[in-house]
Amino acid sequence: MPAMEHSERTFRPVVIGLGCLAVLWATGHFLHTYGVQALAVDHEAIRAWLAGDDLYGLGTAHPPTAALLLAPAAALPLTVAAWLLALAGVAALILAVIALAGPVARRYGRARGPAVAVAAAVALMTEPVRATLGLGHLDLLIFGLIVADLVALRRAAWARRRATWWPGTRPGLERSWSTGAWAGLGIGIASALAVGPVLFIVHLAVTRQWRPALTAASTAATLTLGALLITPGATGTWFSTALAQVDRAGPISDPANQSLAGLLARLNDSTGTPVLVWISFAALLVAVGLIRARAAHADGDEITAFTLVGLAGAATAPVTTGHELFWVLPAMLILVDAAARLRRPRASRFAGIGYAAAALVVYLLLVLPTQMMVDWNAYAFAVIALMNGLPWRPGVAPTTTPARRPVAPVRVPAIPGPRGS
């Protein structure tokens, strides 16, 4: 046994070191392949802005809050800034995988480390991760911020349940960082950095999670107000002009645009899409996504609820390219978990096989050559199909505290007396 433990202690650092080298090689390969095109535009625009020019005159599509976040990187060479942003994105991805895949591994009695390593390696090869790292986008950081709020909501629910079981611990728990009292902070920061995460605030309000919803809204408002005070001109231009330019990130009909608007434009063979038609279908998809997310939340699966909201946002945004499809990754994890949960009962075995096959198909779509998938509108159809058909797992990650049920009095049977009495 001592020799075995010594070999394991020696082998583990070697595996971790090789894994880090593989991640660094993959990151460098993505940066070289995609050419850091998005960050190059932002880098040049922010440099010109800091020199006194118009922030939105050179093509950047970031809100002023995101531009302020990237401002220190503008003082660095583009290659250094790209590597720093990519490494921060990789760290956010690993932390998100730990939060999402770790509990699944523990539930099946598996070690968390190998499961997280496999899930991270699988995610690293997908188009959302490749494009975000290679182009120099902030989407991995935004994804990590929203997943952090999932962790906070889970901890808050655990703290409330513990306080219900041991009422005397409530005051101490509420003062502790581990109780998730900061839930909503990540979504609020993400909403200040991009427009899409605002839909998560709507989800928190629809599901009556008022405290995190108010935290998220106030955080986003505070950061936006701070940007207004620091850069009133750029903030005014963003809200008056840049925000309304829905095709600022690219033409609506561009094959790379895998949102509903892009799909409708290509089906109509036009450069744009009819606004009323798009708004009608988009409103329907948002309603379906929020209704299904609310049902998943009520059944105790907040991870699926957040995933459905993220998929709804990706489907209904004016422009959604490959680097914005991050919520497909937890959707694959949910499908795999649902398949594993149904593998034993014979009546549910076929449903489990279906979920596993769906996860495999979605993964193949994300790792096959991007241009082929774009030409087939594969991403657009996959997101809409997942949003409408993704299962949830009752009780797997509750963020609400069940109401305390009154305990029925225990009836003690009467002790029969001696015969004849």
Is residue 179 over pLDDT 60?
Answer: yes
Q: What pLDDT, on the 0 to 100 scale, is given for residue 10?
A: 64
The percentage of residues in the chain with a pLDDT greater than 90, rounded to a whole number, is: 60
- pLDDT classification of 418: cutoffs 50, 70, 90: very low
Is residue 370 over pLDDT 80?
Answer: yes
pLDDT tens column, 1-38? 455 555 556 667 877 888 899 999 999 999 999 999 99
Average pLDDT over residues 167-186: 66
- 374-382: long-range contacts at Cβ-Cβ below 8 A with a sequence spacing of 24 or more? 374/255, 374/256, 374/258, 374/322, 375/255, 377/258, 377/263, 377/266, 379/127, 379/258, 379/322, 379/325, 380/258, 380/259, 380/260, 380/262, 380/263, 380/315, 382/328
Average pLDDT over residues 175-186: 77
Residue 397 phi, psi (nearest 5) = -150, 70
Q: What pLDDT, on the 0 to 100 scale, is given for residue 410?
A: 40
pLDDT tens column, 292-323? 999 999 998 999 999 999 999 999 999 999 99
